[in-house]
Structure 1
């Protein structure tokens, strides 16, 4: 039995780790697309990614017996999945791609990685959940890590574009809403159905800002391959892997493994896109990653609160 439990734990760790690496690679693929084709906008790429991945997940769910249409039978659940798509998935994906387009994948991913601290601040301000000492230390580390990236040690000037900081900050807020909004739906409808509908609803609604079919984007074979990487390898497969991993490992363990996403984005950007990062960027990024790990290791209070939040 102990050997079986160790095997299950190892399987879960491997699945979650590979999923996070694939998410990091998707940011690098998006950065490559923006460099190769200036006609590709973050809005267009997000629409294509969301609609395609959402449909694939829902078809997969239908064949897997998930019954994805059940979520629309009650008004409350339907409204929540719509709010999840618009307030959770739109900022976490569209704003992230905007940060990648105006900056680069490593910086955008590291700033987005501040999302757990947005959740902690939300708990503190609205639910009166006081951070513990390790959580408070993690927040301080994350603050100084972000400060190093943003200023490169010169407090009177910005080392990155304000527009990158703006979109990256919104994507970090999106991580928080993307975590909190779907939780009441997951026990009843499952992660595949909830995420599939959230992606599809968000992708369709984004057409209000610019119908995807009106942008006549001409793609080369390499650019089409990168889009498929983002949709399949960067969205559908890692999501399914991560959801499956949660059946073997604790959420705290999974959140620790999220560190592979900014690490993968950094390594692949430096290796394949010749992105130049300063020592300030690297040290600041490591501070943020260590801070999130500290938060995750001390996350029992947060998990207990999320469980109670799910029943409200």
Structure 2
């Protein structure tokens, strides 16, 4: 009988790094957010106004997350300003400013202005928070915004309306608030669970949008009927449920959690993929074709997101070395 040499132990399974997890969640969030317009369009074509569709989206998500809000109710007592600010800026502010913008300027132009947010976020981090910004993140943001300009083909609507542009910039600033406040939730001694940030943010946003949109004036009986999507008839509740559960609940939860593992600038650049996803889903589900410029722009957005995710925080200046004190002879007491 031959004795066999002991086999070396198997290496432990490698866990995904925090950065990999953060990028994966940011990608899921961008994909989920990107499908909101495709789900909303059949409802709008059936007779609901865009603002009422937004109210349905945010309020439905807030109701779904009520158990989470109750479970983390102490978070509102500890950080009320952060959670109210997130609801007003990252939820109600983005939606209200964006829809006010598209009521005055072309959708593509409004979308491009809103997604100047990642560039504004870099400016905020660099000059307001006075934190270092890596060159890769800055280059990635610039490439992504250039690609986004091609995706939305903004040159088809250059008749700018000053107020519409200002509303678009307001949406971009509110988008900056989304990443800054989500990042602030993990800072300090009173850290807030990202689930609580999403749940209370949507609750606050729903209350604010209720005042702004007056939902009692809508004909909600439309949800009991059918809608048409690219020639196919389906129950109106199907796109409504997708818009609430996937494009809002899943999108906000994964987006806020991703910022816990990534720097806000990197998460902001990855969020630009939302516009690409929105365009591609509209291509497949609504029959809206893509041109060469849009395809090229999509590749540029992907390249920009890839460049940003390879960035590392710039190294802070190292302190001057302190000269070592001369050794003292040890003496016994």
Q: TM-score range by the shorter chain?
A: 0.7 to 0.9
Q: 1:44 aligns with which of 52, 62, 67?
A: 52
Which residue of structure 2 lines up, in the alignment, with residue 223 of structure 1?
A: 236
Asked if the contact 1:85/1:202 (under 8 Å) is kept, the reply is: yes
- Higher mean displacement: 206-215 or 275-284: 275-284
The answer to whether the aligner puts 1:150 opposite 2:160 as a matched pair is no
Q: 1:118: how far off?
A: 1.4
Asked if the contact 1:114/1:142 (under 8 Å) is kept, the reply is: no
Which residue of structure 2 lines up, in the alignment, with residue 90 of structure 1?
A: 92
Say what the alpha-carbon RMSD is for the aligned residues.
3.9
Q: 1:190: how far off?
A: 0.7
Q: 1:178: how far off?
A: 0.8
Partners of 1:179 and 1:41 in 2: CA distance: 28
Alpha-carbon displacement from aligned partner over 1:111-141 (angstroms, at most 9, x marks no partner)? 5444221101223342445654434434543
Pairs within 5 Å for 1:70-89: 70-74=74-78, 77-89=79-91
Q: Mind listing any 5+ residue stretches in structure 2 that lack a counterpart?
A: 1-10, 227-234, 317-333
Which residue of structure 2 lines up, in the alignment, with residue 118 of structure 1?
A: 120
Structure-2 change in CA distance of 1:169 and 1:299 (3 Å): farther
Which residue of structure 1 lines up, in the alignment, with residue 196 of structure 2?
A: 193
Q: 1:218: how far off?
A: 3.5
Pairs within 5 Å for 1:26-41: 26-34=36-44, 36-37=45-46, 39-41=47-49
Which residue of structure 2 lines up, in the alignment, with residue 280 of structure 1?
A: 293
- Higher mean displacement: 194-203 or 287-296: 287-296
More helix by share: 1
The answer to whether the aligner puts 1:56 opposite 2:64 as a matched pair is yes
The TM-score with structure 1 as length reference comes to: 0.72
Structure-2 change in CA distance of 1:24 and 1:142 (3 Å): closer
Structure-2 change in CA distance of 1:7 and 1:45 (3 Å): same
Q: 2:208 aligns with which of 188, 205, 210?
A: 205
Partners of 2:17 and 2:60 in 1: CA distance: 34
Alpha-carbon displacement from aligned partner over 1:226-281 (angstroms, at most 9, x marks no partner)? 1211101211134445566778x656886676465333212111122222444333
Q: 1:61: how far off?
A: 5.1
Q: 1:8: how far off?
A: 9.1
Asked if the contact 2:75/2:192 (under 8 Å) is kept, the reply is: yes
1:5 aligned counterpart, secondary structure: coil
Asked if the contact 1:18/1:238 (under 8 Å) is kept, the reply is: yes
Asked if the contact 2:98/2:114 (under 8 Å) is kept, the reply is: yes
Structure-2 change in CA distance of 1:98 and 1:294 (3 Å): farther
2:287 aligned counterpart, secondary structure: coil
Asked if the contact 1:95/1:168 (under 8 Å) is kept, the reply is: yes
The TM-score with structure 2 as length reference comes to: 0.69
Structure-2 change in CA distance of 1:133 and 1:79 (3 Å): closer
Partners of 2:25 and 2:127 in 1: CA distance: 35
